[in-house]
């Protein structure tokens, strides 16, 4: 399995698949916001930013999958997935254990060198309440689903990182 993951990490297809899945999840989030009228909270916006990080890692990895740039993509992937797990867990705890003293901010705080809320306000401006459960599927709320999704991204990312020293087998026409 590790040889297979190493081989996949050296091809564009797997990286593009990861970027596409993250892009599809972003489109679903925008559909929830603009199509269904659900208001994203600050934690939702931060989780979106982490998902954009996963998508960016997929794009970086697809640029040159056989070069050392692949390791930068894996680092971006792992960091974004880890932050996504952390944010989704915190958001889940806010929803499962509401407390008037533990709330999220009213507006997202992005660094001055990356003001996403100013550049793309229709995507990165928060207007909802973090403790409100406005949507659920199979009894899981949106942050609980995001926790599962980010955990899957993280688990696969760790396996791909572990697989890097394992060289793919060379297939020979005459070997067994």
For the chain, list the domains and their CATH numbers.
Answer: 1-164 (1.20.1550.10)
Q: pLDDT band for 104, please (50, 70, 90 cuts).
A: confident
First to last CA, the chain: 19
Ranges 56-65, 114-123, 144-153: which has the least confidence = 114-123
Confidence of residue 76 (pLDDT cuts 50, 70, 90): very high
Look up residue 57 and give its two tokens: 């890692």
Do residues 72 and 102 touch, judged by C-beta distance below 8 A?
no
Q: In terms of Cα–Cα distance, which of 148, 119, 128 is closest to 43? A: 128
Q: How far, CA to CA in Å, does 91 sit from each of 74, 86, 161?
A: 25, 9, 28
The pLDDT, as a whole number, for residue 172 is: 47
Catalytic residue positions?
41, 44, 48, 104, 130
Say how far apart CA 50 and CA 79 lie, in whole Å. Answer: 9
Q: Write down the pLDDT at residue 149.
A: 93
Which residues lie below 8 Å from residue 173, measured CB to CB, with a gap of 6+? Answer: none
Spatial distance between the Cα atoms of 19 and 111, rounded to a whole number of angstroms: 24
């Amino acid at each position: 399995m590790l040889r297979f993951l190493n081989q996949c990490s050296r091809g564009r297809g797997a990286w593009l698949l990861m970027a596409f899945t993250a892009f599809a999840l972003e489109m679903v989030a925008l559909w929830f916001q603009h199509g269904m009228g659900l208001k994203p909270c600050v934690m939702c916006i931060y989780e979106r930013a982490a998902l954009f990080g996963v998508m960016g890692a997929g794009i970086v990895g697809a640029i040159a999958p056989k070069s050392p740039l692949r390791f930068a993509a894996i680092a971006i992937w792992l960091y974004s997935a880890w932050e996504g797990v952390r944010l989704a867990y915190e958001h889940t705890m806010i929803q499962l254990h509401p407390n008037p003293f533990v709330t999220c901010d009213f507006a997202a705080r992005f660094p001055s060198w990356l003001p996403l809320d100013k550049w793309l306000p229709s995507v990165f401006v928060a207007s909802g309440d973090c403790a409100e459960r406005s949507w659920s599927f199979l009894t899981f709320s949106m942050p609980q689903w995001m926790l599962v999704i980010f955990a899957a991204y993280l688990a696969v990312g760790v396996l791909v990182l572990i697989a890097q020293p394992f060289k793919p087998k060379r297939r020979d026409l005459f070997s067994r």
